[in-house]
Amino acid sequence: MKQTGTGRGIQLLGGLFLIVGTVDLIVIALFPAYALKLFGTAVAGPASFLVKLHAPAVHLLIGYGFLWLRPWAWGLALAYAGFGLVSEGMNQLAFGFNQIRSGFMVTTFLLASYLIWRRAVFIDEPLSENRPKPKPLELL
C-alpha cells in the first residue's frame, strides 16, 4: 500500500498529544493527592508529584515531535507505548481487571501499530524514486 507521506494524520495526533499533556498538567494541579499507579504499585506522598509529572512531559514532547514530524518522536512514542502497556498489564495483575485500563491498553496497541505503519513519515530524507540506487557489491 503506497502512503502519501504528508503526515497530516500524525500531525493531528500531535495536536491531540499537546492537548492531553496540558490536561494532564491541570489534573495533577487540581488533584495533587492522587496516587498514580505504575507497574503494580501506587505512588503516593510528596514525591509522587514529581513522578506524576513524567506523563505530561512525555505527552508534550511527543505532541511537539509529531506536529513537526521529528524522527525522534517516533521512537519516543513507541517506547512510551511499551512503557504504558507493561505498566497497565502489571496494574491489572496487582489491582484487578479494570475496563478503562483495558481500553487504554487496546488503544495504545492500536496507536503503536499505526505508528509502525506510518514510519516513513518520520524519515529525515524523503525516499525518491528518481534517486539512483546503489550498486550491489560483488563478493570476491
pLDDT tens, 14-58? 999 999 999 999 998 898 888 888 888 888 887 788 888 999 999
Cα–Cα dist 75/79, whole Å: 6
Contact 21, 63 (CB under 8 A): yes
For the segment 89-111, the average pLDDT, to the nearest whole number, is: 92
135 inside domain: no
33 inside domain: yes
For the segment 63-91, the average pLDDT, to the nearest whole number, is: 93
52 inside domain: yes
Structural domain boundaries, residue 114 = 8-122
Is the pLDDT score of 108 beyond 60? yes
Cα–Cα dist 107/105, whole Å: 6
3 inside domain: no
105 inside domain: yes
Is the pLDDT score of 2 beyond 50? no
Structural domains counted in the chain: 1
**Which residues are within 8 A (CB) of 72 and not within 5 positions of it... i.e. 6 or more apart?**
65
12 inside domain: yes
For the segment 81-99, the average pLDDT, to the nearest whole number, is: 92
User: In this structure, is the dihedral angle defined by the CA atoms of residues 75, 76, 78 and 83, taken in order, positive or negative?
Assistant: positive
Closest CA to 33 of 15, 18, 20, 52: 52
17 inside domain: yes
β-pair partners for 37: 42
34 inside domain: yes
